[in-house]
Structure 1
C-alpha cells in the first residue's frame, strides 16, 4: 500500500475514531464531572494567588472574619458532597425506572443528559474548592480572603440553581413522550444527511449496477477483528484500502452484530499476501465495532428503541395501549421522511476502477418491515393499536403513491397492512372491531 493511499485513508479513519470517542464521552457520567472537578481545583489556586498579592476592596460585600469563613466553607463542603450522593441516587433510580418500564436501550438518553453531568461536576468542583480553601484560611487573621469566599459563595449559589434545573429535567424526562421525542430527533438528523453527508458518509464514487461476482473467482476474506455491534463504517476508507481494479464487498452493515472471525469483507481478485494483509488492516480500522448500538449512523436503531417501548407497553405486565399507539406514531414520523429520502446506492465505482458493494444495507422496504413487523404481531388483540397501524400504513402509501421507483416499498406496506387484519382475525376480534380496520385499510379505488 503506497504512502498516498495511507494519507487518503487516515482522515476518514481519524474522523470515525473522533466521533466514536465523542459519543462515548457524551454518554459518560465521569468525563464532564472530572473536568469540572479539575476546574474547581485550578480556580481555587488562582483565587488564592490573587488574594495573596492584592486586596480587592470592591468585594466588601463578602468580607467576613476567618472563623466565619472556616465555618461557612466547612458547611458548604459537607452539604455539597452529601447532595452529590443524593443526585447519584436519583440518577440510579431514574435509570432503573426507565429500564424496567420502557427499554434498557433508552438508558442512553439519560446518560447523555448534560444537566445531570454538569450538576454532579459542579457539586464536586464546589466541594474541592471549599476543602482546598479551608487549608489556606489563616485562623489568626482578622479577615478571610475575599475573592476566595466570593467564589465559594458563587459556586454554592450556582449549585443550588443547578439542583433546581436538574430536578425539573429529571421529572420531565421520565415522561415517555419526551424519551420518544429525543429518539425521533436523533433519527431525523441522520435522515436529513441522506444520501451522502458528513454523518452517513460522503459519496465514494459513481453509483453503478452491481456486477456478477460469480465470475470473479476466489476472493480474499477479511475477518472481523472482534465481537460487537457495527457502530460506524467509512466506505471511503474501505474502497481506498484495496488495489486499483478491485471489487470489495462488505459482508455487514451499520447496526449489525459481528462475531469475531466472521467475514467482514471480501476482495476480488485476490491480492498478493502483503497487499492483502495491509488491506485487511485498513478495512478493519474503517469499521468501528463497539459493545452497544449507537445513533452515529444507525437509523434502524431508532426504530428498534421505539418498537421496544411499544412492545413493553403491550405486554400483559404493563398493558398500556396508549403508549404503544404513540410509539407507532413516532415510528411513522421517522419513516415518512425516510421513505421519501434517497438512500445511498449499494454499488459504487471510483476513478481507479475500484468497486464497493454494500448489499446488506437496508432498503426502504426493509425499513418498513423493521418498523412495523414486530409490533404488528402483538397488536392484533388491541383494536385501537391495530387501527393506528392501518392508518399510518395507509398514510405512508399515500405519500409514495406517485413514486414509480418505490414499487417494492409499496408492496411491503400493503403486505404489512393486510397482515394487521390477519393478526386481528387470529386474535379473535369480533366483526364490530374488524369493520373499522377493513374500512381504514381500503384504498380509494376500492
Structure 2
C-alpha cells in the first residue's frame, strides 16, 4: 500500500511479490516442483561426497570395508524407493477424500483452505522428494565389488534417504492431524475468519486520520457526479477479478500523472471489453499496462476480497440449514464469526480505498462493498433460510442487538432493516405467538 503525508504514520505496502506469493499459495504444483528439483541437487551433492569418501578410503587401503556395506545400502534404498511411491498414493487418496467431504459438508468455496495448507504441500513434496532422491541414488550404484574398479559407495546417500523417510513419516502424522482438524467445521470457520481479519487490517491502515475523514473520504461513495476521463476496457481473458497489483497501478498512475479509478470490485466477473479503470486527469495509460496488474482467474481468493470471507461463512451457514443437513448449531457458529467481523468493520471507512504514491498524492481509488451491502450479504440469506429455526433466529437477534449498540449512528439503518425483516420472517414461519416470542429472544448461544 502507499504512504500518507509525512505527518502520518508509515503504512505497510503490499510488497511487490505479495500477489505472486498469494498466487503460488493458491496453486499445488509449485512446492512439489521445488522439492523435486531440490532432491536432484541433493542427490548430486551426496554422490559427490560419497565419491570423496571412497577416494580417501582407497588411498588408505580401507575401500573393502566400505564395499561390504554397498549391498545392504542398495537394499535399503531400493525398499525406500518402492515404498515411497505407495506412500504418496496414500497421502493423495486421503487428500481427495478430505476434499470431497469438505465440499459436501461445508461449501466448495472452503476447498481453497486445503490447497493453501502448507502442511499438506510439505508432506506431499517431502514424499515426492524422497522418492526422486532414492531413485537417483539407485541409478548411481556401482555393481562391482572390486575396489580397484569401484567409484563410490553411497553411504551418505543412504543415510540421507533414511533421514528423508523419517521426515516424511513425521510430516504424515502431522498431516493426518491437520486434515482431521480441517474436517471439523469450527476450525474451518476460524480459518476463514482469521483470513478475513487480515483484510480488515488493510482497511484499518487505509483509514484517513482523525479530522480528515469527512473531507477526504466519506463512509460510502457520495451521490455527486462521477469522475470524468477516458475509460479503459479489459483486454485480457475473461474471469473473476481475484486481486490487483496495487503498487504497479500506483506506479503507472504516477508515471502518467493521473488518478486511476478501479471500476470493477474484487470478486467481480470481467470479460474482454469490460470497463476496468477510469483515468481522471493526466494521460491515460495503455490498457495492456492495466491488464498486467489485474489477476483474473476462475475463482475468488481472500487476498484483497473481504466479501469473499463473508460469502464463505454464509455458505457454510445456509448449507447447514438445508433440509439435507439440518444442523442449526453450525449455522450459529458461522453467525458468531459474522458478528465478530461486522463489529470490527462497523467503525471503519468502507466504500472506497484510496492508495497514494510516495509523495502522498492519491493515485488509485478502489471501490469496495459499502456497509449496507456487507450487512445484506452477512444476514439476508441466513435470515431467509433460518426463519423457522429458533436457535438461529435467537442468535441473529443477539448479534443485531449488539451491533446496534456499537455501530455509529449513520450506519444504523441497514441493521434496523435487518431487525425488522427478521421479525417479519419469524412471524411468517412461526404461527404460535409464544413460540415467536421465544424465537426472537436474544441468545448468544442460540438455545443454550
TM-score interval w.r.t. the shorter chain? 0.7 to 0.9
Q: Which residue matches 1:377?
A: 384
TM-score of the aligned structures, taking structure 2 as reference length: 0.81
Counterparts of 2:336 and 2:360, CA distance in 1 = 46
Counterparts of 2:87 and 2:303, CA distance in 1 = 34
Q: Which residue matches 2:333?
A: 326
TM-score of the aligned structures, taking structure 1 as reference length: 0.81
Counterparts of 2:49 and 2:124, CA distance in 1 = 27
TM alignment of 1:28-39, pairs within 5 A: 28-39=27-38
8 Å CA contact 2:351, 2:369 repeated in 1: no
Q: Does 1:389 align with 2:396?
A: yes
TM alignment of 1:29-178, pairs within 5 A: 29-54=28-53, 65-141=69-145, 144-178=153-187
8 Å CA contact 1:311, 1:378 repeated in 2: yes
8 Å CA contact 2:319, 2:325 repeated in 1: yes
Could you tell me how far 1:334 is from its partner in structure 2? 1.5
Q: Which residue matches 1:221?
A: 231
8 Å CA contact 1:368, 1:412 repeated in 2: yes
Q: Which residue matches 1:182?
A: 191
Could you tell me how far 1:291 is from its partner in structure 2? 1.9
Distance change in 2, residues 1:46/1:364 (3 Å): same
Deviations 1:372-407 (A, max 9, x none): 11111111111111111111111111122xx34xx2
Q: Which residue matches 2:414?
A: 412
SS at match of 1:193: helix
Counterparts of 1:264 and 1:213, CA distance in 2 = 19
Counterparts of 2:86 and 2:328, CA distance in 1 = 41
8 Å CA contact 2:253, 2:364 repeated in 1: no
Deviations 1:275-314 (A, max 9, x none): 54x3433333343322211111111100000111111111
8 Å CA contact 2:206, 2:353 repeated in 1: no
8 Å CA contact 2:232, 2:276 repeated in 1: yes
SS at match of 2:231: strand
Counterparts of 1:188 and 1:431, CA distance in 2 = 40
Deviations 1:336-370 (A, max 9, x none): 11113334746789989978655x52222221111
Structure 1 segments unaligned to the other structure (5+ residues): 1-13, 442-446
Counterparts of 2:67 and 2:373, CA distance in 1 = 69
SS at match of 1:317: coil
SS at match of 1:264: strand
Task: Decide which moves more: 388-397 or 21-30.
Answer: 21-30
Q: How many residues align?
A: 405
Distance change in 2, residues 1:191/1:287 (3 Å): same
Pick one of 435, 438, 445 that aligns with 2:437. 435
TM alignment of 1:328-367, pairs within 5 A: 328-343=335-350, 345=352, 358=366, 360-367=367-374
Q: Which residue matches 2:6?
A: none
Counterparts of 1:389 and 1:116, CA distance in 2 = 36
